[in-house]
Amino acid sequence: MTSHSYIIYEVKESIARVTFNRPDVHNAFDDQFISELTETLKKIHEDKSLRLVVLASNGKSFCAGADLNWMKKMKDYSLEKNYKDSEKLSNMFECFDQLELPILGIVQGHALGGGVGIVSVCDYVLANQKAKFGFTEVRLGLVPSVISPYVLRKIGESQARAWFFSGEVFDAEKAKEMDLVHEVCSPDKLESRTGELVESFLRAGPASARGCKKLLKNVKELLVSDKEKLKDYTVKTISEFRISGEGQEGMTALLEKRTAKWVQK
């Protein structure tokens, strides 16, 4: 087992288990979390003996998106520094996307903002029926830019239009309805159902499972004309919103625990 400050990584019987371990801040990510998770994903990519990734979290929440203290720092970043910072986040999602193994996501609690982005890169998602989801960026004067390619691929443009604009939080059943989540179960069944799913995934031939992941990736890339341009666009977009007047006001309001000025009272 490899234990960083925020990420626990263990391998058992060809299964890579990655656990977010910042329960005190609802597993929100910052620059260190991103660095540790990216490093872990690279290790998984290099280990050809693995057959499955199980992604989970400790505590009440799966991932609450960006950490408040991290947002407090980025609020004062220049456009250039915001770009470099956002690029690291984008690289983390690329590492998820480049894995040759199926990813089983176990969402035991709330997934908000960038946390929904992580849900979107999982191949199969089992969620606690009490979990909540939401693309909450717009309520901070931001946009779900870096995660958008993965979210659009998962839920489609129609659902993205329905939920990106308001930032409204929705339940696990709605997440299942829109194909963000594949299965919903009660809290007391989460562990046993996880075991059943792991057993089911391991019934696949190891090479076949990797072959399916490669097949889907190659077909997807044939549909994208300029992947590098897409990455630059999404990273640049969130960087610009972070330093915009509205983005600054939204993040300030969050940090000061007040309503943003654009919200009518």
**How far apart (Å, rounded) are the C-alpha atoms in residues 190 and 183?**
10
Residue 222 has pLDDT above 70, yes or no: no
Number of domains in the chain: 1
**Residue 123 belongs to domain spanning:** 2-206
pLDDT of residue 233: 83
- Give 18-23's long-range contacts (Cβ < 8 A, gap of 24+): 18/44, 18/53, 18/54, 18/55, 18/56, 19/56, 19/57, 19/58, 20/56, 20/57, 20/58, 20/62, 20/63, 21/57, 21/58, 22/59, 22/67, 23/57, 23/58, 23/59, 23/60, 23/61
Does residue 101 sit within a domain?
Answer: yes
Residue 254's CB is within 10 A of a number of other CB atoms, namely: 20
Cα dist from 40 to 90, 114, 157, whole Å:
15, 18, 31
Does residue 194 sit within a domain?
Answer: yes
pLDDT of residue 225: 67
Does residue 250 sit within a domain?
Answer: no
Does residue 17 sit within a domain?
Answer: yes
Q: Are strands 7-12 and 2-3 parallel, antiparallel or unpaired?
A: antiparallel
State pLDDT tens for residues 127-161.
999 999 999 999 999 999 999 999 999 999 999 99
For the chain, what's the residue count?
Answer: 265
Total-model pTM: 0.88
Residue 162 has pLDDT above 90, yes or no: yes
Look over the chain and give the mean of its residue pLDDT values, rounded to a whole number: 92
Does residue 111 sit within a domain?
Answer: yes
State pLDDT tens for residues 46-78.
999 999 999 999 999 999 999 988 888 888 899
Which band of pLDDT confidence, cut at 50, 70 and 90, is reported for residue 126? very high
Percent helix, strand and coil across the chain, each to the nearest 5: 55, 15, 30
Does residue 157 sit within a domain?
Answer: yes
The CATH number that applies at residue 123 is 3.90.226.10
State pLDDT tens for residues 238-263.
899 888 988 898 889 888 989 988 77
Residue 215's CB is within 10 A of a number of other CB atoms, namely: 10
Does residue 167 sit within a domain?
Answer: yes
Q: Taking a C-beta distance cutoff of 8 angstroms, is the pair 61, 109 a contact? A: yes
pLDDT of residue 156: 96
CB-hemisphere CA count at 13 Å for 163?
25
